Amino acid sequence: MTTETKPLRIGVLALQGAFAEHQHVLARLPGVESTVQVRTAAAIEDPTLDALVLPGGESTTMALIAERSGLMDPLRAFVKSGKPVWGTCAGMILLSNTAHATKAGGQNLIGGLAVTVKRNAFGAQVDSFVADLSIPTLINPETPFPGVFIRAPIIESVDEKEVEVLARVPRKGEENSEGSIVAVRQGHILATAFHPELTEDDRFHRYFVDMAHQVIKQK
């Protein structure tokens, strides 16, 4: 556990979705001082906010509420500032530079992560699933991580070479291919297509907290 920097104050974007679940996991980890629900520009611009999590939920909904609450530019500025950010599911879509299969008329994105995302890539809710993922960067990597995919997006393409692929999931009927990209890291930005906050396994949250401490230390 790297706790050389001071314990973190981590914001969770609380416009809509599974934000409480992220808070509940983060709040019990070492290296975290507190978590805070973020709904306003002032909360994002608060200099004591060390890192931000964009939770799962409906990305269309979150983007519309963010626009109407004047949060899009503060969110973009936060990502640009180099502070650690993690997006899960809808949060990953919002962080991506390009998204496909969005609502008619397209969708506003925060951007910053050089990937192309396809929304709802597996189909309807009856196609949602849990899959064991092999993620070498986590602690105890020999234990598979339970990937909860709910109307989940995938990363169709990685568009810059500094984006590191952390996990893939096999596609039905294409078991021999490499599989779809479902977790990536680009410097201070982490993104997962699945929901670690809906599991008992806190290794991904620990990974993010460690990553955040490293990023802040290097700044």
Closest approach, Cβ 107 to another protein, in A, equals 9
Alpha-carbon gap, residue 182 to 153, rounded angstroms: 8
Alpha-carbon gap, residue 143 to 135, rounded angstroms: 9
CB contact set of 205 (below 8 Å; sequence gap of 6+): 22, 25, 26, 29, 196, 197
Give yes or no for a contact between 133 and 167, defined as CB atoms under 8 angstroms apart: yes
| Binding positions for another protein, 84-143, rule CB under 8 A | 89-90, 101-105, 119-120, 123-126, 128-130
Number of C-alpha atoms within 13 angstroms, CB side, residue 96? 30
Q: Which of 118, 168, 188, 195 binds another protein (CB under 8 A)?
A: 195
Residue 34 as a binder of another protein (CB under 8 A): the answer is no
The tokens for 94 are: 């919002």
Q: Which one, 25 or 169, has the nearer CB to another protein?
A: 25
Binding residues: 57-59, 119, 150-151
| Binding positions for another protein, 38-67, rule CB under 8 A | 39, 56-58, 60-61, 64-65
Closest approach, Cβ 216 to another protein, in A, equals 25
Alpha-carbon gap, residue 153 to 149, rounded angstroms: 8
Alpha-carbon gap, residue 48 to 190, rounded angstroms: 20
**89 given a catalytic annotation:** yes
Q: Which of 15, 29, 154, 216 binds another protein (CB under 8 A)?
A: 15
Positions annotated as catalytic residues are 89, 195, 197
Binding region for another protein (CB under 8 A): 14-25, 27-28, 39, 56-58, 60-61, 64-65, 68-69, 89-90, 101-105, 119-120, 123-126, 128-130, 146, 148-151, 195, 197-200
